[in-house]
Amino acid sequence: MRAISRPWGTLHARIDECGGTHAAVFLNSLGTDTRMWDSVVRGLPELAIAVRLDFRGHGLSAVAPYSYSIADLADDVLACMDTVDLERAKIIGCSVGGLVAQQLSLAAPDRVEALVLSNCAPKLGTAEAWIDRVDRVNALGMPGMASEIVERWFAQPSPINEPEVDLWRTMLERIPSAGYVALCHAIAEADLSQSVHNIDVPALVIAGSSDRATPADAVQALADSLPQAQYLEFEGVGHLPAIESPEAFNTAVSHFFGSLPNE
């Protein structure tokens, strides 16, 4: 556990020292925390250091007292990397974590060695849909919205069992509504569609065939926009492959790491 002071409050990071050769930063999806990567970090012997962090208002990070953008979240990632003296790293992000990874690659390309972009796009959904989500969370609270959101996370039927799904639902119910809503607003305002072609680093872009939150065709369109992207689609997997299918996810990332030029 690492506490990092930021102008908006305290950022929670988790740093795992491993025995491999690759440094990686893991960025979560909306409504999750660093635990979404547990099986991935354990299953990647190639890692030398694994940096995980909770976005503002998620996990153990403070709820920011004012609004922010996806670019602000990318600045938080850079601050976290600076704290652990990590000059460059592979950035692995899912959903909004992948959106932040794209922004980071555009803003600080010298800090990014390669990308793994899971179940994301340069623009996630429509602003109208996100504002509707905000209105419903404000009306019902996270406990009232959790089941509906979790249904969009996982395939039907899901590769994971129902008791495990219940645990992720409980995690979501406990996120402060203000933290969830603020990130929804940031997503609603973000659109990198006109810029992603400038991200010129090796990228593995992963989709789930059963993803209802960010459909596979949107993810493939992202891969087609990137100069050095490989596209991979997991059959029968939803929005969170790192949770639903960690073995396949790890195999794909291991092969990708192995394909990268020696540093």
> pLDDT tens, 135-152?
999 999 999 999 999 999
Q: Please report, for the chain, the start and end positions of each structural domain, with discontinuous segments joined by +.
A: 2-259
Calpha distance 79→129 (Å, rounded): 31
**pLDDT tens digits, residue range 237-260?**
999 999 999 999 999 999 999 999
Contact 240, 164 (CB under 8 A): no
Arithmetic mean of pLDDT, 56-76 = 98
Q: What is the pTM of this model?
A: 0.97
- The CA angle 143-70-25, to the nearest 5 degrees, is 90
Calpha distance 52→42 (Å, rounded): 13
Query: Tokens standing for 152?
Result: 């969009």
Domain 2-259: which topology? Rossmann fold (3.40.50)
